Amino acid sequence: MRSNKDPIALSSHWARRLIVAALLFLSLFSLAPLRAADSAAQQPLVVFVVRHAEKADASRDPDLSVAGRQRAAQLAVLLRDTGVKYVHSSDFKRTKDTAAPVAAALGLEVKSYDPQDLPSLVTQLRQTGGRHLIVGHSNTTPETVELLGGDPSSAIDDKSEFDRLYIVNVGADGAVSTVLMRYGAPYSAASSE
């Protein structure tokens, strides 16, 4: 018997549940009691880091493709209950258009950052604390994760890998943990060759 339930909605439902479970697990790292001397230390920080969604063409500053717009919409659904308070994007159409649905869903403004100066962005994140989304590129996304003290895993396949979602948790004590998830249409190494 066929089910009338939408498989995309079901997968989004389970993906949201997985993210919430991961956040709860990661928050255990940031619940360590603060010593009085460390009260001015960094705030707990959770950063969601993604590469922009699929682009329409290989030009310097392309729009998102149809698949890219779908992925950006899926990201908004996925992150809607995560408590993100800040959305950051490099100043390219593909990154801004990936960030826009999340910002709109959460009633936030997309703030631009310089992808050539990631250390300044990471310093700003550490000073601000809270929960952030950063939309970057195939080269800056792993670098951002690494600068936060997380594990970027392997390099991103520039040609066709758009589904990585890193969750980097930096506790008030400086302890860092990383969760690498996938969202939207899955990446296949075979499809990039």
Predicted local distance difference test score (pLDDT) of residue 27: 53
Predicted local distance difference test score (pLDDT) of residue 22: 64
The domain total for the chain is: 1
- CATH number of the domain bearing residue 145: 3.40.50.1240
- Structural domain contains residue 92: yes
Predicted local distance difference test score (pLDDT) of residue 5: 53
Predicted local distance difference test score (pLDDT) of residue 189: 79
Predicted local distance difference test score (pLDDT) of residue 20: 63
Range of the domain at 100: 7-31+42-192
What is the spatial distance between Cα 2 and Cα 190, in angstroms, rounded to a whole number?
31
Predicted local distance difference test score (pLDDT) of residue 6: 52
- Structural domain contains residue 22: yes
Residues 153 and 34: beta-carbon distance below 8 Å: no
What is the spatial distance between Cα 27 and Cα 19, in angstroms, rounded to a whole number?
12
Among candidate residues 136, 117, 159, 154, the one with its CA nearest the CA of residue 48? 136
Predicted local distance difference test score (pLDDT) of residue 24: 53
- Structural domain contains residue 160: yes
| pLDDT tens-digit readout, 135-175 | 999 999 999 999 999 999 999 999 999 999 999 999 989 99
- Structural domain contains residue 88: yes
Q: Name the phi and psi angles at 47, rounded to 5.
A: -125, 125
Residues of the chain where predicted confidence (pLDDT) is lower than 70: 1-42, 190-193
Place of tokens 């998102």: 64
- Structural domain contains residue 171: yes
The set of residues, in sequence order, having a beta carbon less than 8 Å from that of 13 and lying 6+ positions away, is: none
Predicted local distance difference test score (pLDDT) of residue 37: 33
- Structural domain contains residue 107: yes
Alpha helices in 42-149 (DSSP H): 66-79, 93-106, 118-128, 140-147
- Structural domain contains residue 37: no
- Structural domain contains residue 1: no
Q: Name the phi and psi angles at 117, rounded to 5.
A: -130, 60
